[in-house]
Homo-oligomer: A and B are copies of this chain.
Protein backbone atom coordinates (compact mmCIF):
# COMPACT_ATOMS: atom_id res chain seq x y z
CA UNK A 1 0.00 0.00 0.00
CA UNK A 2 2.99 2.31 0.40
CA UNK A 3 4.03 1.82 -3.20
CA UNK A 4 3.52 4.57 -5.79
CA UNK A 5 1.69 3.61 -8.95
CA UNK A 6 2.45 5.40 -12.23
CA UNK A 7 -0.23 5.28 -14.92
CA UNK A 8 0.15 5.91 -18.65
CA UNK A 9 -2.99 7.79 -19.66
CA UNK A 10 -5.40 9.76 -17.48
CA UNK A 11 -8.91 9.25 -18.87
CA UNK A 12 -12.00 7.79 -17.26
CA UNK A 13 -10.42 4.42 -16.55
CA UNK A 14 -7.63 6.16 -14.67
CA UNK A 15 -10.20 8.29 -12.87
CA UNK A 16 -12.11 5.25 -11.62
CA UNK A 17 -8.82 3.52 -10.77
CA UNK A 18 -7.79 6.41 -8.59
CA UNK A 19 -11.16 6.52 -6.85
CA UNK A 20 -10.31 3.03 -5.60
CA UNK A 21 -6.69 4.00 -4.85
CA UNK A 22 -7.71 7.03 -2.76
CA UNK A 23 -9.63 4.79 -0.34
CA UNK A 24 -6.42 2.91 0.38
CA UNK A 25 -4.13 5.98 0.38
CA UNK A 26 -2.28 4.47 -2.57
CA UNK A 27 -0.40 7.26 -4.32
CA UNK A 28 -1.01 7.37 -8.06
CA UNK A 29 0.86 9.58 -10.55
CA UNK A 30 -0.61 10.09 -14.00
CA UNK A 31 1.17 10.84 -17.22
CA UNK A 32 -1.07 12.48 -19.76
CA UNK A 33 -1.59 15.66 -21.69
CA UNK A 34 -4.09 17.60 -19.61
CA UNK A 35 -3.30 19.41 -16.38
CA UNK A 36 -6.85 18.59 -15.24
CA UNK A 37 -7.53 15.43 -17.21
CA UNK A 38 -10.34 13.19 -15.87
CA UNK A 39 -7.98 11.17 -13.67
CA UNK A 40 -5.87 14.09 -12.44
CA UNK A 41 -9.02 15.92 -11.29
CA UNK A 42 -9.56 13.42 -8.50
CA UNK A 43 -6.07 13.08 -7.03
CA UNK A 44 -4.21 16.16 -6.00
CA UNK A 45 -0.59 15.93 -4.93
CA UNK A 46 1.37 18.10 -7.32
CA UNK A 47 3.38 15.22 -8.81
CA UNK A 48 1.49 14.35 -11.98
CA UNK A 49 3.32 14.61 -15.26
CA UNK A 50 1.89 16.63 -18.12
CA UNK A 51 2.87 15.13 -21.43
CA UNK A 52 2.18 12.40 -23.95
CA UNK A 53 2.23 8.81 -22.76
CA UNK A 54 4.06 8.09 -26.04
CA UNK A 55 6.92 10.44 -25.11
CA UNK A 56 9.93 8.38 -23.99
CA UNK A 57 11.32 11.03 -21.63
CA UNK A 58 7.98 11.56 -19.94
CA UNK A 59 7.53 7.81 -19.44
CA UNK A 60 11.04 7.56 -17.99
CA UNK A 61 10.27 10.43 -15.60
CA UNK A 62 7.06 8.65 -14.52
CA UNK A 63 9.01 5.42 -14.02
CA UNK A 64 11.52 7.19 -11.77
CA UNK A 65 8.71 8.36 -9.49
CA UNK A 66 6.84 5.02 -9.43
CA UNK A 67 7.27 1.59 -7.91
CA UNK A 68 4.87 0.02 -10.41
CA UNK A 69 3.92 1.38 -13.84
CA UNK A 70 0.60 0.37 -15.38
CA UNK A 71 -1.63 1.51 -18.25
CA UNK A 72 -5.20 2.62 -18.75
CA UNK A 73 -4.93 2.42 -22.54
CA UNK A 74 -3.06 -0.21 -24.56
CA UNK A 75 -1.93 2.07 -27.41
CA UNK A 76 1.33 2.95 -25.69
CA UNK A 77 4.93 2.68 -26.83
CA UNK A 78 6.03 -0.78 -25.67
CA UNK A 79 9.66 -0.15 -26.63
CA UNK A 80 9.87 2.43 -23.85
CA UNK A 81 8.08 0.08 -21.46
CA UNK A 82 10.60 -2.60 -22.37
CA UNK A 83 13.46 -0.16 -21.60
CA UNK A 84 12.13 0.98 -18.21
CA UNK A 85 11.35 -2.58 -17.32
CA UNK A 86 14.95 -3.55 -18.10
CA UNK A 87 16.12 -0.63 -15.97
CA UNK A 88 14.27 -2.17 -13.02
CA UNK A 89 10.79 -0.62 -13.06
CA UNK A 90 7.98 -3.08 -12.39
CA UNK A 91 5.66 -2.81 -15.43
CA UNK A 92 2.23 -4.48 -15.12
CA UNK A 93 0.90 -6.17 -17.11
CA UNK A 94 4.16 -7.24 -18.80
CA UNK A 95 5.24 -5.05 -21.77
CA UNK A 96 5.26 -8.18 -23.98
CA UNK A 97 1.61 -8.76 -23.10
CA UNK A 98 0.73 -5.21 -24.13
CA UNK A 99 2.79 -5.54 -27.33
CA UNK A 100 1.08 -8.78 -28.33
CA UNK A 101 -2.39 -7.46 -27.56
CA UNK A 102 -1.74 -4.26 -29.55
CA UNK A 103 -1.53 -6.44 -32.67
CA UNK A 104 -4.94 -8.11 -32.87
CA UNK A 105 -3.69 -10.80 -35.22
CA UNK A 106 -0.74 -11.64 -32.97
CA UNK A 107 -3.18 -11.71 -30.03
CA UNK A 108 -5.32 -14.30 -31.83
CA UNK A 109 -2.31 -16.36 -32.85
CA UNK A 110 -1.10 -16.53 -29.25
CA UNK A 111 -4.56 -17.53 -28.00
CA UNK A 112 -4.89 -20.23 -30.64
CA UNK A 113 -1.44 -21.58 -29.86
CA UNK A 114 -2.70 -22.12 -26.28
CA UNK A 115 -5.86 -23.85 -27.48
CA UNK A 116 -8.20 -20.93 -26.76
CA UNK A 117 -11.11 -20.81 -29.22
CA UNK A 118 -11.18 -17.65 -31.36
CA UNK A 119 -12.57 -16.80 -34.79
CA UNK A 120 -10.39 -18.23 -37.57
CA UNK A 121 -8.14 -15.44 -38.90
CA UNK A 122 -5.86 -14.92 -41.91
CA UNK A 123 -3.28 -12.12 -42.19
CA UNK A 124 -3.09 -10.19 -45.48
CA UNK A 125 0.38 -9.98 -47.01
CA UNK A 126 -0.60 -6.60 -48.43
CA UNK A 127 -3.68 -4.39 -48.47
CA UNK A 128 -4.54 -5.48 -51.99
CA UNK A 129 -7.53 -7.02 -53.74
CA UNK A 130 -5.70 -10.24 -54.67
CA UNK A 131 -4.64 -10.81 -51.06
CA UNK A 132 -8.13 -10.09 -49.81
CA UNK A 133 -9.44 -12.51 -52.45
CA UNK A 134 -7.07 -15.18 -51.14
CA UNK A 135 -8.32 -14.61 -47.58
CA UNK A 136 -11.95 -14.80 -48.69
CA UNK A 137 -11.24 -18.16 -50.31
CA UNK A 138 -9.83 -19.45 -47.04
CA UNK A 139 -12.59 -18.08 -44.80
CA UNK A 140 -15.63 -17.73 -47.07
CA UNK A 141 -17.83 -14.66 -47.32
CA UNK A 142 -19.01 -12.65 -45.48
CA UNK A 143 -15.86 -11.97 -43.48
CA UNK A 144 -14.64 -9.17 -41.25
CA UNK A 145 -11.62 -7.19 -42.48
CA UNK A 146 -9.70 -5.70 -39.55
CA UNK A 147 -6.73 -3.48 -38.89
CA UNK A 148 -4.18 -5.28 -36.75
CA UNK A 149 -3.34 -2.15 -34.73
CA UNK A 150 -4.83 1.02 -33.16
CA UNK A 151 -8.35 -0.27 -33.57
CA UNK A 152 -11.03 0.14 -30.90
CA UNK A 153 -14.78 0.84 -30.58
CA UNK A 154 -15.36 -0.55 -34.09
CA UNK A 155 -12.79 1.75 -35.71
CA UNK A 156 -10.59 -0.40 -37.92
CA UNK A 157 -13.26 -3.01 -38.69
CA UNK A 158 -15.02 -3.41 -42.06
CA UNK A 159 -17.65 -6.08 -42.77
CA UNK A 160 -17.03 -7.56 -46.22
CA UNK A 161 -20.25 -9.16 -47.39
CA UNK A 162 -19.52 -9.79 -51.06
CA UNK A 163 -16.64 -9.30 -53.48
CA UNK A 164 -18.14 -5.92 -54.35
CA UNK A 165 -17.07 -4.68 -50.89
CA UNK A 166 -13.36 -5.48 -51.45
CA UNK A 167 -12.42 -2.07 -52.80
CA UNK A 168 -14.31 0.06 -50.28
CA UNK A 169 -13.03 -2.12 -47.43
CA UNK A 170 -9.40 -1.60 -48.49
CA UNK A 171 -10.00 2.10 -49.17
CA UNK A 172 -11.58 2.60 -45.76
CA UNK A 173 -9.02 0.74 -43.70
CA UNK A 174 -6.11 2.28 -45.59
CA UNK A 175 -3.37 0.65 -47.55
CA UNK A 176 -0.58 1.51 -45.15
CA UNK A 177 -2.02 -0.52 -42.32
CA UNK A 178 -1.44 -4.15 -41.51
CA UNK A 179 -4.70 -5.93 -42.13
CA UNK A 180 -6.13 -9.35 -41.38
CA UNK A 181 -9.38 -11.10 -42.22
CA UNK A 182 -11.57 -12.86 -39.69
CA UNK A 183 -14.16 -15.57 -40.30
CA UNK A 184 -17.65 -14.16 -39.87
CA UNK A 185 -19.13 -15.13 -36.48
CA UNK A 186 -22.87 -15.69 -36.43
CA UNK A 187 -23.25 -14.90 -32.78
CA UNK A 188 -26.50 -14.74 -30.87
CA UNK A 189 -25.00 -12.69 -28.05
CA UNK A 190 -21.83 -10.92 -27.03
CA UNK A 191 -20.50 -11.75 -23.59
CA UNK A 192 -17.63 -10.33 -21.58
CA UNK A 193 -15.77 -11.41 -18.48
CA UNK A 194 -13.31 -9.33 -16.47
CA UNK A 195 -10.41 -11.51 -15.36
CA UNK A 196 -7.87 -10.69 -12.65
CA UNK A 197 -4.38 -12.14 -12.89
CA UNK A 198 -2.52 -11.91 -9.58
CA UNK A 199 0.94 -13.23 -8.76
CA UNK A 200 -0.49 -16.68 -8.16
CA UNK A 201 -4.15 -16.82 -9.22
CA UNK A 202 -6.42 -16.20 -12.19
CA UNK A 203 -9.86 -15.10 -10.91
CA UNK A 204 -12.92 -13.94 -12.77
CA UNK A 205 -15.82 -11.54 -12.26
CA UNK A 206 -19.33 -12.65 -13.40
CA UNK A 207 -20.26 -13.16 -17.05
CA UNK A 208 -21.70 -10.00 -18.60
CA UNK A 209 -24.04 -9.61 -21.55
CA UNK A 210 -22.84 -6.68 -23.65
CA UNK A 211 -24.96 -4.82 -26.17
CA UNK A 212 -23.10 -2.82 -28.80
CA UNK A 213 -24.54 -0.17 -31.06
CA UNK A 214 -22.51 1.13 -33.99
CA UNK A 215 -19.69 -1.03 -32.64
CA UNK A 216 -19.60 0.91 -29.35
CA UNK A 217 -20.58 -0.69 -26.06
CA UNK A 218 -23.96 0.69 -25.08
CA UNK A 219 -25.32 -1.54 -22.32
CA UNK A 220 -24.14 -4.37 -20.10
CA UNK A 221 -26.36 -6.78 -18.16
CA UNK A 222 -24.99 -8.85 -15.29
CA UNK A 223 -25.79 -11.70 -14.94
CA UNK A 224 -26.11 -12.28 -18.70
CA UNK A 225 -29.79 -12.84 -19.51
CA UNK A 226 -31.00 -16.10 -21.01
CA UNK A 227 -27.62 -17.81 -20.62
CA UNK A 228 -27.61 -21.23 -18.96
CA UNK A 229 -25.40 -21.98 -15.99
CA UNK A 230 -23.36 -24.29 -18.22
CA UNK A 231 -22.62 -21.57 -20.78
CA UNK A 232 -21.96 -19.13 -17.97
CA UNK A 233 -19.35 -21.44 -16.48
CA UNK A 234 -17.84 -22.15 -19.88
CA UNK A 235 -17.51 -18.40 -20.48
CA UNK A 236 -15.78 -17.93 -17.12
CA UNK A 237 -13.42 -20.79 -17.82
CA UNK A 238 -12.63 -19.66 -21.36
CA UNK A 239 -11.92 -16.13 -20.17
CA UNK A 240 -9.59 -17.31 -17.43
CA UNK A 241 -7.85 -19.67 -19.83
CA UNK A 242 -7.37 -16.82 -22.32
CA UNK A 243 -5.87 -14.45 -19.75
CA UNK A 244 -3.64 -17.19 -18.37
CA UNK A 245 -1.83 -17.08 -21.78
CA UNK A 246 -0.42 -13.63 -21.01
CA UNK A 247 2.42 -12.57 -18.74
CA UNK A 248 2.08 -10.14 -15.86
CA UNK A 249 -0.57 -9.03 -13.41
CA UNK A 250 -3.70 -6.90 -13.50
CA UNK A 251 -7.26 -7.00 -14.82
CA UNK A 252 -8.09 -7.98 -18.38
CA UNK A 253 -11.36 -7.55 -20.24
CA UNK A 254 -12.24 -10.61 -22.34
CA UNK A 255 -14.88 -10.07 -25.02
CA UNK A 256 -16.54 -13.19 -26.42
CA UNK A 257 -19.08 -14.28 -29.00
CA UNK A 258 -21.77 -16.79 -28.02
CA UNK A 259 -22.68 -18.55 -31.25
CA UNK A 260 -26.12 -19.90 -32.16
CA UNK A 261 -25.05 -23.41 -31.12
CA UNK A 262 -23.90 -22.14 -27.68
CA UNK A 263 -20.19 -22.43 -28.46
CA UNK A 264 -17.98 -19.57 -27.33
CA UNK A 265 -15.18 -17.76 -29.15
CA UNK A 266 -12.86 -15.15 -27.71
CA UNK A 267 -13.21 -11.96 -29.75
CA UNK A 268 -10.58 -9.74 -28.18
CA UNK A 269 -8.80 -8.93 -24.96
CA UNK A 270 -8.03 -5.61 -23.30
CA UNK A 271 -5.04 -5.64 -20.89
CA UNK A 272 -6.67 -3.16 -18.46
CA UNK A 273 -9.98 -2.22 -16.79
CA UNK A 274 -12.75 -2.26 -19.36
CA UNK A 275 -16.12 -0.67 -20.09
CA UNK A 276 -17.82 -4.03 -19.58
CA UNK A 277 -16.54 -4.06 -15.98
CA UNK A 278 -17.83 -0.67 -14.81
CA UNK A 279 -20.81 -2.36 -13.15
CA UNK A 280 -18.43 -3.97 -10.62
CA UNK A 281 -18.08 -0.64 -8.77
CA UNK A 282 -21.59 -0.97 -7.35
CA UNK A 283 -22.38 -4.63 -7.88
CA UNK A 284 -19.39 -6.48 -6.42
CA UNK A 285 -17.63 -6.20 -3.05
CA UNK A 286 -14.37 -5.40 -4.90
CA UNK A 287 -14.51 -3.47 -8.20
CA UNK A 288 -12.38 -4.16 -11.30
CA UNK A 289 -10.34 -1.07 -10.39
CA UNK A 290 -9.61 -2.15 -6.83
CA UNK A 291 -8.90 -5.66 -8.16
CA UNK A 292 -6.36 -4.20 -10.62
CA UNK A 293 -4.59 -2.35 -7.81
CA UNK A 294 -4.63 -5.39 -5.53
CA UNK A 295 -3.24 -7.53 -8.35
CA UNK A 296 -0.38 -5.26 -9.41
CA UNK A 297 0.57 -4.44 -5.79
CA UNK A 298 0.38 -8.06 -4.57
CA UNK A 299 -2.36 -7.27 -2.05
CA UNK A 300 -4.80 -10.05 -1.03
CA UNK A 301 -7.79 -10.75 -3.31
CA UNK A 302 -10.65 -13.20 -2.76
CA UNK A 303 -12.71 -14.94 -5.44
CA UNK A 304 -15.79 -14.32 -3.30
CA UNK A 305 -15.28 -10.55 -3.49
CA UNK A 306 -15.66 -10.69 -7.28
CA UNK A 307 -19.15 -12.20 -7.02
CA UNK A 308 -22.32 -10.33 -7.79
CA UNK A 309 -24.20 -8.74 -4.91
CA UNK A 310 -27.25 -7.69 -6.96
CA UNK A 311 -28.13 -7.79 -10.68
CA UNK A 312 -26.75 -4.72 -12.45
CA UNK A 313 -27.29 -2.90 -15.72
CA UNK A 314 -24.77 -0.35 -17.02
CA UNK A 315 -25.67 2.23 -19.67
CA UNK A 316 -23.02 4.44 -21.26
CA UNK A 317 -23.62 8.17 -21.43
CA UNK A 318 -22.41 9.04 -24.92
CA UNK A 319 -22.00 12.62 -26.10
CA UNK A 320 -24.96 13.98 -28.08
CA UNK A 321 -25.46 17.00 -30.30
CA UNK A 322 -24.87 19.68 -27.68
CA UNK A 323 -21.75 20.18 -25.61
CA UNK A 324 -23.58 19.61 -22.33
CA UNK A 325 -25.73 16.73 -23.55
CA UNK A 326 -24.15 14.46 -20.93
CA UNK A 327 -25.25 16.79 -18.16
CA UNK A 328 -28.80 16.76 -19.46
CA UNK A 329 -28.60 12.95 -19.49
CA UNK A 330 -27.36 12.95 -15.89
CA UNK A 331 -30.24 15.24 -14.88
CA UNK A 332 -32.64 12.64 -16.29
CA UNK A 333 -30.84 9.85 -14.49
CA UNK A 334 -31.05 11.74 -11.19
CA UNK A 335 -34.83 11.29 -11.42
CA UNK A 336 -34.53 7.51 -11.23
CA UNK A 337 -34.13 5.49 -8.05
CA UNK A 338 -31.31 2.93 -7.57
CA UNK A 339 -29.26 4.71 -10.23
CA UNK A 340 -25.61 5.60 -9.72
CA UNK A 341 -24.28 8.25 -12.07
CA UNK A 342 -20.62 8.47 -13.06
CA UNK A 343 -19.57 11.53 -15.03
CA UNK A 344 -15.96 11.52 -16.18
CA UNK A 345 -15.03 15.20 -16.02
CA UNK A 346 -14.19 15.36 -19.73
CA UNK A 347 -15.55 18.89 -20.21
CA UNK A 348 -17.53 19.52 -23.38
CA UNK A 349 -19.30 16.59 -24.99
CA UNK A 350 -18.52 15.42 -28.52
CA UNK A 351 -20.94 13.26 -30.49
CA UNK A 352 -20.52 9.61 -29.50
CA UNK A 353 -17.76 10.24 -26.95
CA UNK A 354 -17.96 8.31 -23.68
CA UNK A 355 -18.81 11.08 -21.20
CA UNK A 356 -19.98 8.92 -18.32
CA UNK A 357 -22.13 5.94 -17.44
CA UNK A 358 -24.92 4.95 -15.12
CA UNK A 359 -25.35 1.73 -13.20
CA UNK A 360 -28.68 0.47 -11.90
CA UNK A 361 -28.58 -2.27 -9.28
CA UNK A 362 -31.72 -3.93 -7.91
CA UNK A 363 -32.72 -7.10 -6.09
CA UNK A 364 -33.90 -8.66 -9.37
CA UNK A 365 -32.90 -8.19 -13.01
CA UNK A 366 -36.51 -7.58 -13.88
CA UNK A 367 -36.68 -4.63 -11.46
CA UNK A 368 -33.39 -3.24 -12.79
CA UNK A 369 -34.77 -3.50 -16.34
CA UNK A 370 -37.89 -1.60 -15.35
CA UNK A 371 -35.84 1.15 -13.69
CA UNK A 372 -33.40 1.61 -16.57
CA UNK A 373 -36.03 1.57 -19.33
CA UNK A 374 -36.75 5.35 -19.31
CA UNK A 375 -33.02 6.08 -19.44
CA UNK A 376 -32.54 3.78 -22.44
CA UNK A 377 -35.43 5.62 -24.08
CA UNK A 378 -33.78 8.94 -23.22
CA UNK A 379 -30.51 7.75 -24.75
CA UNK A 380 -32.41 6.69 -27.88
CA UNK A 381 -34.57 9.81 -28.10
CA UNK A 382 -32.88 11.25 -31.20
CA UNK A 383 -32.50 7.92 -32.93
CA UNK A 384 -34.72 6.76 -35.78
CA UNK A 385 -36.85 3.89 -34.46
CA UNK A 386 -35.49 0.64 -35.80
CA UNK A 387 -36.91 -2.83 -35.81
CA UNK A 388 -33.76 -4.24 -34.23
CA UNK A 389 -33.43 -1.60 -31.54
CA UNK A 390 -33.21 -2.74 -27.92
CA UNK A 391 -36.66 -4.16 -27.18
CA UNK A 392 -38.71 -1.86 -24.96
CA UNK A 393 -40.31 -4.79 -23.13
CA UNK A 394 -37.43 -6.41 -21.34
CA UNK A 395 -37.11 -10.16 -21.13
CA UNK A 396 -37.91 -11.50 -17.68
CA UNK A 397 -36.05 -14.09 -15.65
CA UNK A 398 -38.53 -16.81 -14.64
CA UNK A 399 -38.54 -17.29 -10.86
CA UNK A 400 -41.04 -20.13 -10.53
CA UNK A 401 -41.07 -23.35 -12.56
CA UNK A 402 -44.51 -24.96 -12.76
CA UNK A 403 -44.52 -28.62 -13.80
CA UNK A 404 -47.26 -31.20 -14.16
CA UNK A 405 -47.31 -34.89 -14.91
CA UNK A 406 -49.85 -34.65 -17.72
CA UNK A 407 -51.65 -31.99 -19.76
CA UNK A 408 -54.87 -33.18 -18.10
CA UNK A 409 -53.57 -31.44 -14.95
CA UNK A 410 -53.45 -28.06 -16.71
CA UNK A 411 -57.03 -26.93 -15.88
CA UNK A 412 -56.25 -27.50 -12.20
CA UNK A 413 -53.00 -25.53 -12.49
CA UNK A 414 -54.47 -22.53 -14.32
CA UNK A 415 -55.90 -20.63 -11.32
CA UNK A 416 -52.40 -20.78 -9.81
CA UNK A 417 -50.86 -19.32 -12.98
CA UNK A 418 -53.38 -16.48 -12.73
CA UNK A 419 -52.13 -15.73 -9.21
CA UNK A 420 -48.49 -15.70 -10.40
CA UNK A 421 -49.50 -13.25 -13.14
CA UNK A 422 -51.36 -11.10 -10.60
CA UNK A 423 -48.17 -10.92 -8.51
CA UNK A 424 -46.08 -10.28 -11.68
CA UNK A 425 -43.91 -13.29 -10.88
CA UNK A 426 -42.35 -14.62 -14.12
CA UNK A 427 -42.74 -18.40 -14.48
CA UNK A 428 -42.31 -21.31 -16.87
CA UNK A 429 -44.89 -24.16 -17.34
CA UNK A 430 -43.77 -27.58 -18.55
CA UNK A 431 -44.97 -31.20 -18.66
CA UNK A 432 -42.36 -33.40 -16.98
CA UNK A 433 -43.88 -36.77 -16.15
CA UNK A 434 -42.05 -38.72 -13.45
CA UNK A 435 -43.14 -42.00 -14.97
CA UNK A 436 -43.20 -41.36 -18.73
CA UNK A 437 -40.25 -38.93 -19.05
CA UNK A 438 -38.12 -39.68 -16.00
CA UNK A 439 -34.90 -38.40 -17.59
CA UNK A 440 -36.43 -35.11 -18.76
CA UNK A 441 -38.07 -34.64 -15.36
CA UNK A 442 -34.67 -35.17 -13.68
CA UNK A 443 -32.88 -32.83 -16.08
CA UNK A 444 -35.47 -30.08 -15.69
CA UNK A 445 -35.48 -30.30 -11.88
CA UNK A 446 -31.74 -30.55 -11.46
CA UNK A 447 -30.97 -27.58 -13.73
CA UNK A 448 -33.71 -25.32 -12.32
CA UNK A 449 -31.58 -23.60 -9.67
CA UNK A 450 -28.78 -22.89 -12.16
CA UNK A 451 -31.35 -21.37 -14.51
CA UNK A 452 -32.35 -18.82 -11.90
CA UNK A 453 -35.52 -20.59 -10.71
CA UNK A 454 -36.21 -19.99 -7.02
CA UNK A 455 -39.13 -22.31 -6.37
CA UNK A 456 -40.95 -25.20 -8.12
CA UNK A 457 -44.67 -25.98 -8.15
CA UNK A 458 -45.50 -29.57 -9.15
CA UNK A 459 -48.99 -30.91 -9.77
CA UNK A 460 -49.80 -34.63 -9.96
CA UNK A 461 -52.67 -37.01 -9.32
CA UNK A 462 -53.11 -40.62 -8.22
CA UNK A 463 -49.73 -42.14 -7.45
CA UNK A 464 -48.58 -38.49 -7.68
CA UNK A 465 -44.83 -39.04 -7.64
CA UNK A 466 -43.86 -35.84 -9.45
CA UNK A 467 -43.46 -33.37 -6.52
CA UNK A 468 -41.41 -35.84 -4.51
CA UNK A 469 -39.20 -36.85 -7.44
CA UNK A 470 -38.59 -33.20 -8.32
CA UNK A 471 -37.61 -32.56 -4.69
CA UNK A 472 -35.15 -35.44 -4.95
CA UNK A 473 -33.34 -33.65 -7.80
CA UNK A 474 -33.12 -30.10 -6.45
CA UNK A 475 -32.42 -28.15 -3.28
CA UNK A 476 -35.12 -25.60 -4.17
CA UNK A 477 -38.39 -25.58 -2.21
CA UNK A 478 -41.00 -27.73 -4.01
CA UNK A 479 -44.73 -27.14 -3.58
CA UNK A 480 -46.99 -30.09 -4.39
CA UNK A 481 -50.56 -29.81 -5.72
CA UNK A 482 -52.49 -33.09 -5.33
CA UNK A 483 -54.76 -33.37 -8.37
CA UNK A 484 -58.09 -35.16 -7.93
CA UNK A 485 -58.08 -38.18 -10.28
CA UNK A 486 -61.15 -39.30 -12.22
CA UNK A 487 -61.75 -42.02 -9.63
CA UNK A 488 -61.90 -41.09 -5.94
CA UNK A 489 -61.68 -37.86 -3.99
CA UNK A 490 -57.94 -37.21 -4.37
CA UNK A 491 -56.90 -38.60 -0.99
CA UNK A 492 -54.51 -40.92 -2.87
CA UNK A 493 -52.83 -37.93 -4.55
CA UNK A 494 -52.67 -36.01 -1.27
CA UNK A 495 -51.10 -38.85 0.69
CA UNK A 496 -48.59 -39.60 -2.10
CA UNK A 497 -47.44 -36.00 -1.96
CA UNK A 498 -47.49 -35.31 1.76
CA UNK A 499 -46.05 -38.58 3.12
CA UNK A 500 -42.48 -37.98 1.97
CA UNK A 501 -39.71 -39.86 3.79
CA UNK A 502 -37.53 -38.02 6.26
CA UNK A 503 -34.82 -36.11 4.41
CA UNK A 504 -36.76 -35.00 1.32
CA UNK A 505 -39.48 -32.48 2.14
CA UNK A 506 -42.34 -31.38 -0.14
CA UNK A 507 -44.87 -28.73 0.84
CA UNK A 508 -48.31 -30.26 0.27
CA UNK A 509 -51.32 -28.10 -0.55
CA UNK A 510 -54.93 -29.31 -0.42
CA UNK A 511 -56.44 -31.19 -3.37
CA UNK A 512 -56.66 -29.15 -6.58
CA UNK A 513 -55.65 -25.96 -4.73
CA UNK A 514 -53.22 -24.42 -7.21
CA UNK A 515 -54.23 -20.98 -5.94
CA UNK A 516 -52.63 -21.71 -2.61
CA UNK A 517 -49.61 -23.27 -4.27
CA UNK A 518 -48.98 -20.02 -6.17
CA UNK A 519 -49.64 -17.92 -3.07
CA UNK A 520 -47.18 -20.07 -1.15
CA UNK A 521 -44.59 -19.51 -3.90
CA UNK A 522 -45.20 -15.77 -3.49
CA UNK A 523 -44.62 -16.08 0.27
CA UNK A 524 -41.34 -17.89 -0.36
CA UNK A 525 -40.13 -15.33 -2.92
CA UNK A 526 -41.25 -12.53 -0.60
CA UNK A 527 -38.63 -13.65 1.93
CA UNK A 528 -35.91 -12.23 -0.32
CA UNK A 529 -37.85 -9.78 -2.47
CA UNK A 530 -39.43 -6.87 -0.64
CA UNK A 531 -41.56 -5.88 -3.66
CA UNK A 532 -43.27 -9.30 -3.72
CA UNK A 533 -43.72 -9.26 0.07
CA UNK A 534 -45.35 -5.85 -0.23
CA UNK A 535 -47.75 -7.13 -2.87
CA UNK A 536 -48.58 -10.06 -0.63
CA UNK A 537 -49.43 -7.78 2.28
CA UNK A 538 -51.68 -5.82 -0.08
CA UNK A 539 -53.29 -9.09 -1.23
CA UNK A 540 -54.06 -10.01 2.40
CA UNK A 541 -55.59 -6.57 2.97
CA UNK A 542 -57.73 -6.83 -0.17
CA UNK A 543 -58.89 -10.29 0.77
CA UNK A 544 -59.81 -9.04 4.26
CA UNK A 545 -61.73 -6.17 2.64
CA UNK A 546 -63.68 -8.54 0.41
CA UNK A 547 -64.80 -10.71 3.30
CA UNK A 548 -65.73 -7.66 5.39
CA UNK A 549 -67.80 -6.39 2.50
CA UNK A 550 -69.63 -9.73 2.20
CA UNK A 551 -70.24 -9.64 5.94
CA UNK A 552 -71.67 -6.13 5.70
CA UNK A 553 -74.08 -7.23 2.94
CA UNK A 554 -75.08 -10.34 4.86
CA UNK A 555 -75.88 -8.25 7.94
CA UNK A 556 -77.81 -5.79 5.78
CA UNK A 557 -79.84 -8.30 3.73
CA UNK A 558 -80.27 -11.15 6.19
CA UNK A 559 -79.35 -14.74 5.46
CA UNK A 560 -82.16 -15.70 3.05
CA UNK A 561 -81.98 -12.63 0.83
CA UNK A 562 -78.20 -12.83 0.74
CA UNK A 563 -78.22 -16.51 -0.24
CA UNK A 564 -80.73 -15.85 -2.98
CA UNK A 565 -78.97 -12.79 -4.32
CA UNK A 566 -75.34 -13.89 -4.16
CA UNK A 567 -75.15 -17.64 -3.80
CA UNK A 568 -77.85 -18.45 -6.37
CA UNK A 569 -75.61 -16.90 -9.03
CA UNK A 570 -72.87 -19.41 -8.47
Q: Which residues does A use to contact B, with CB under 8 Å?
A: 1-2, 19, 22-25, 36, 40-46, 285, 294, 299-300, 302, 304-305, 309-310, 327, 330-331, 334-335, 337-343, 345, 361, 449, 454-455, 475-479, 494, 498-500, 502-510, 513, 515-517, 519-520, 523-528, 533, 536-537, 540, 543
Contacts and interface: CB of A to CB of B under 8 A. Distances in A.
- Which 10 pairs from chain A and chain B are nearest by CB? A507-B507, A528-B528, A44-B44, A505-B516, A505-B520, A477-B523, A475-B536, A25-B343, A508-B508, A302-B337
A504 B340 CA distance: 40
A44 B475 CA distance: 53
21 contacts: A19-B19, A19-B22, A22-B41, A22-B42, A24-B330, A285-B338, A285-B340, A300-B334, A300-B335, A309-B309, A309-B310, A449-B533, A476-B523, A477-B523, A478-B523, A494-B498, A498-B509, A499-B510, A506-B520, A507-B507, A524-B524
Contact of A285 (B22, B361, B536): B361
A25 B454 contact: no
Contacts of A341: 23-24
A304 B339 CA distance: 11
Contact of A510 (B43, B310, B498, B509): B498
Contacts of A338: 285, 304-305
Contacts of A19: 19, 22
Contacts of A335: 300
Number of copies: 2
A513 B468 CA distance: 15
Contacts of A533: 449, 475
Given A41-B43, A331-B1, A343-B23, A516 B528 contact: no
A44 to B, nearest CB: 3
A28 to B, nearest CB: 11
Contact of A515 (B41, B299, B502): B502
A478 B516 CA distance: 12
Given A304-B338, A341-B24, A477 B327 contact: no
Contacts of A506: 520
Nearest to A511: B499
A345 B477 CA distance: 49
Contact of A44 (B43, B327, B507, B519): B43
Given A302-B337, A337-B304, A523-B505, A1 B45 contact: no
A327 B3 CA distance: 12
A422 B305 CA distance: 26
B508 A507 contact: yes
Taking each of A22, A479, A528, which has the highest tally of chain B beta carbons within 10 Å of its own beta carbon?
Answer: A22
Nearest to A15: B22
Taking each of A338, A494, A516, which has the highest tally of chain B beta carbons within 10 Å of its own beta carbon?
Answer: A516
Contact of A505 (B299, B509, B528): B509
A527 B526 contact: no
A401 to B, nearest CB: 13
